[in-house]
Amino acid sequence: MERRAVCVLLWISCLLRCGVSHNDFFTSIGQMTDLLFTEKDLVTSLKDYISAEESKLEQVKQWAEKLDSLTLTATKDPEGFLGHPVNAFKLMKRLNTEWGDLENLVLKDMSERFISNLTIQRQHFPNEEDQTGAAKALLRLQDTYQLDTHSISTGNLPGVDLGGLPFMNSMTAEDCLELGKIAYSESDYYHTELWMVQALRQLDEGEESEVDTANVLDYLSYSVYQQGELEKALEYTRRLLQLDAGHQRANGNLKYFEFQLAKRMEAQADEGGKGKDSAERGKRETKSKTVENDFLPEKRKYERLCRGDGLKMTPRRQSRMFCRYFDNNRHPRYLIGPVKQEDEWDRPNIVRFHDIISDGEIAKVKQLAKPRLRRATVHNPETGELTTAHYRVSKSAWLIEHEHPVVDRINQRIEDLTGLEIGTAEDLQVANYGVGGQYEPHYDFGRKDEPDAFEELGTGNRIATWLFYMSDVAAGGATVFTEVGAAVRPMKGTAVFWYNLFPSGEGDYSTRHAACPVLVGNKWVSNKWIHERGQEFRRRCSLQEMDRQSPVLPHLLHHLL
Ligand code: OGA
Ligand code: FE2
């Protein structure tokens, strides 16, 4: 009861805090969908404005035409015209009132409604941070999934059917320039070059655009220069000067690059080709700098697994992986209708439950979570506090027990199928990953060398993880285990389960895992972190520190016998 009250209080304080700060969009698609409807309403409002402006212009036109023919006739014989008293009266009336009315009409602002609509809506629009976030996500996807700029620009991504309306997914030269500029502002000259080259290619192919080719060339020459490619920098600068002979910076750079190149040639002549080597070295150094930024081979492993070229299990190990009907040792709820369980990996033992959450339940869980989705946080290992981090890009919400019968039903199901006490578990977390949304390699359990992140819960460490997949993902978004090379693809309606701790209570470091960036689609998951307390008589006891025996195994044997 007390725990619930604390949760509710936490939730209210979060609501208050989040109401003030900007709740970013780019981290989840769940809330981005609302923006599409907002945009649709704005288009309707814009069209109303256009009609109003058109009818106003039509009135003005009619007036002009009427007056055009009238003044033409009147000026042919002014005296004769004004000799008619009605004409004289009408001239007075026109000049005294009608031109005034026309002035008011011309001055009338038809845009008021539209503009006020726009002003109101814009308060809830994505901001600079969202745009940069979405752009960086694209760059991240490009690296992780080794995509070339042309494929991204034409929207031709794996898992995407271009049969429909390809232009909807494609990028203009201006979009490419924008992406390049964002990479530039991050001093990421490697991606700047790639995207500026793509912009230039599209312009060269004759794409109609407002983009100034000289501007693209300016970025290009600088980014290749930064990567140590003097000849290319010179080439782009020359091309720039062909378009704009008076370009000040380009003229300066031309001289500088020519000078540098001449110096290099001289050195080459002197040292018999060593110059080129050093140029090459320069190039390699910049390239390796980017590699250095990624620093870890683990990052490479993570990306490889995400691309699906992970490690293959030996046939011998593979032969020991099974699918079975599972009733958790004749649990009364599953005796008549056992569930489908499949081994996904042996060490650590990862099992997948099929058809374990219905579409209706998923829809309800999403509906409950959607208004409460907030940028996911992580524990700062130094301070133990919760913060946002670039390596965890998603939004999440917590569903509290008893808030809806579906939540209770799900909690009960996890308890029944794992045999573990669920009362000491954390609330049900619902997460939604947007474009490029990911969670880089991590452990779910708390390590000995960090402040105890779960201390205040008083329920011990995270003994096990239960993860529901609540959507399919068209491309990307797998859960990968970087230490052992396992990759688990999201499949709507299934769930995976693994132990994070050995029976001794020691952390199992082979459970290190990550959520790959979503390439195409929308990823919804929901997880339950089960804690140590309460499992004392549930999980088989063991004094062996490195006991790797899977807790599911005894039940498996029961089935095989
Ligand atoms: C997590 C996690 C994996 C996934 O939230 O801790 O590892 O695939 N998620 O979303
Ligand atoms: Fe995790």
**Is 60 exceeded by the pLDDT of residue 291?**
no
| b/e 211-249 (16+ beta carbons within 10 angstroms → b) | bebebbbbbbbbbbbbbbbbebbbbbbebbbeebeebee
Model pLDDT, residue 270: 80
Model pLDDT, residue 372: 94
Q: For residue 231, give the nearest of 207, 260, 209 by alpha carbon.
A: 260
Name 143's Cβ contacts closer than 8 Å, sequence gap at least 6: 303
Give the Cα separation of 361 and 405 in Å (integer): 10
Model pLDDT, residue 472: 95
At residue 199, φ and ψ (nearest 5 deg) are -60, -45
Residue 335 C-alpha to ligand 1 middle, in angstroms?
31
Q: Whose CA is nearest to atom 3 of ligand 1?
A: 515
**Does the C-beta of 498 come closer than 6 Å to ligand 1?**
no
Neighbouring residues of the ion ligand 2, judged by CB less than 5 Å: 444
Question: Ligand 1, residues 392, 527, 530: which to mutate, most atoms within 8 A of Cβ?
Answer: 527
Residue pair 476/519 in contact by the 8 Å Cβ criterion: yes
Give the pLDDT mean for 522-548.
Answer: 77
- Coil, helix or strand for 459? coil
Q: Which ligand is nearest to the CA of 473?
A: 1
Q: What CA–CA distances, in Å, run from 2 to 7, 9, 120, 459, 529?
A: 9, 11, 41, 15, 20
Give the pLDDT mean for 35-54.
Answer: 95
**Does the C-beta of 513 come closer than 6 Å to ligand 1?**
yes
Model pLDDT, residue 174: 97
Model pLDDT, residue 167: 57
Question: Ligand 1, residues 513, 516, 518: which to mutate, most atoms within 8 A of Cβ?
Answer: 513
Lowest mean pLDDT among 1-15, 131-145, 289-303: 1-15
**Does the C-beta of 479 come closer than 6 Å to ligand 1?**
yes
**Does the C-beta of 341 come closer than 6 Å to ligand 1?**
no
Which stretch of DSSP H or E encloses residue 274? helix 274-294
Model pLDDT, residue 538: 85
| b/e 61-93 (16+ beta carbons within 10 angstroms → b) | eebeeeeeeeeeeeeeeeeebeeeeeeeeeeee
| Residue-wise DSSP of 76-100 | HSHHHHHTSHHHHHHHHHIIIIIHH
Model pLDDT, residue 506: 93
**Does the C-beta of 216 come closer than 6 Å to ligand 1?**
no
Model pLDDT, residue 377: 81
Q: Dihedral sign for Cα 422, 423, 425, 426, please.
A: positive
Give the pLDDT mean for 173-185.
Answer: 96
Q: For residue 492, give the nearest of 390, 363, 328, 368 by alpha carbon.
A: 363
Give the pLDDT mean for 341-369.
Answer: 97
- Within 13 Å, how many C-alpha atoms sit on residue 15's CB side? 9
**Is 90 exceeded by the pLDDT of residue 283?**
no
Strands (E), 213-364: 323-326, 339-345, 350-354
**Is 80 exceeded by the pLDDT of residue 549?**
no
Residue 143 C-alpha to ligand 2 middle, in angstroms?
22
Confidence of residue 423 (pLDDT cuts 50, 70, 90): very high
Question: Ligand 1, residues 344, 375, 511, 525: which to mutate, most atoms within 8 A of Cβ?
Answer: 525
Q: Which residue has the higher pLDDT, 169 or 316?
A: 316
Model pLDDT, residue 164: 59
Q: Whose CA is nearest to atom 10 of ligand 1?
A: 515
Q: Which ligand is nearest to the CA of 439?
A: 1
Give the Cα separation of 539 and 533 in Å (integer): 11
Model pLDDT, residue 280: 47
